[in-house]
């Protein structure tokens, strides 16, 4: 299956070529209906022939050549489609692109100058993973949305060591100020907490980007530091 940059380049390469674009719906589960896409496809081709009846002979012959190429391509599907959808882009010389799609497609045939890619664009939205990172100061939850399903991937937690503040002598006197000649225990704890949160967020962002892969997106939410931690990365939105 083409990704978005490949689809843009592909559409550009055929922008001046007459193309028969075909989409098939393979989601039927009833055995009696599994090849219902064939009936709908045949009707769509009939409608195109009617629409082309007033066109010049060369275009009608070009269309029929594309249909013959299509029929050879469809010989692979004796039963129902093995995946929810299928798409093909056919010119009179050959099949320029054909692929099974993991999402449902409306069965239709389109005859146009340049490929009809709008339904394919809709499929891209489903096959491109989106990873969500939602975090507070102590934990980050990572979820992935892919093929219409949202799943929890992992939870990362921050770990930081908090040292018990020490005092001069056996016990602090009334009015003793632990920060007179140094940092207070509270300051140390805050620094440790912030450092742990920073490490956790960095780990969460890196984990999410690995899950998203080259074509996926990452969405962040929660404390502002999540967005700041991920701001250097493209494909990230908050």
pLDDT at 157: 87
pLDDT surpassing 50 at residue 234: no
Burial bucket for residue 227 (CB in 10 Å: 0-12, 13-18, 19+):
middle
Q: Which domain holds residue 33?
A: 4-126
pLDDT of 237: 52
Average pLDDT of the chain is 82
pLDDT at 31: 66
> Can you tell me the distance from the alpha carbon of 111 to that of 66, in angstroms, rounded to the nearest whole number?
10
Residues 44, 122 share a domain:
yes
Last-in-domain residue among 126, 150, 184: 126
Is 7:120 a contact under the CB 8 Å cutoff? yes
Q: Is the pLDDT of residue 44 over 90?
A: yes
How far from chain centre, in Å, is Cα 174?
A: 62
- If one counts the domains in the chain, the total is 2
pTM of full prediction above 0.85: no
Looking at the structure, tell me whether residues 15 and 109 fall in a common domain.
Answer: yes
pLDDT in tens, 187-208: 776 777 778 778 888 888 888 8
* C-alpha–C-alpha distance, residues 155 and 139, integer Å: 7
Q: Please give the pLDDT value at position 34.
A: 64
Domain boundary residue among 89, 107, 126? 126
What percentage of the chain exceeds 70 in pLDDT?
A: 79
Domain harbouring 104, CATH code: 3.30.960.10
**C-alpha angle 21-25-28 in degrees, rounded to nearest 5:** 165
């Amino acid at each position: 299956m083409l990704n978005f940059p490949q689809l843009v380049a592909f559409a550009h390469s055929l922008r001046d070529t007459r193309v028969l674009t075909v989409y098939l719906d393979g989601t039927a589960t009833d055995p009696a209906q599994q090849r219902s896409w064939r009936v709908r496809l045949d009707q769509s081709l009939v409608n195109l022939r009617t629409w082309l009846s007033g066109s010049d002979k060369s275009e009608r012959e070009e269309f029929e050549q594309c249909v013959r190429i299509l029929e050879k391509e469809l010989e692979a599907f004796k039963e129902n489609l093995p995946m929810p959808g299928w798409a093909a882009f056919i010119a009179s010389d050959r099949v320029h692109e054909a692929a099974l799609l993991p999402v449902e497609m409306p069965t239709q045939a389109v005859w146009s100058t340049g490929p009809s890619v709008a339904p394919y664009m809709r499929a891209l939205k489903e096959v491109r993973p989106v990873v969500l990172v939602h975090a507070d100061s102590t934990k980050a939850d990572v979820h992935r949305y892919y093929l219409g399903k949202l799943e929890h991937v992992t939870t990362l937690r921050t770990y930081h060591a908090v040292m018990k503040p020490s005092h001069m002598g056996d016990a602090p006197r009334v009015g003793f100020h632990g920060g007179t000649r140094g940092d207070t225990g509270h300051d140390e704890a805050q620094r440790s907490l912030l450092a742990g949160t920073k490490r956790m967020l960095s780990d969460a962002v890196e984990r999410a980007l690995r899950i998203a892969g080259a074509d996926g997106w990452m969405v962040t939410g929660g404390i502002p530091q999540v967005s700041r931690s991920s701001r250097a990365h493209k494909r990230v939105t908050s």
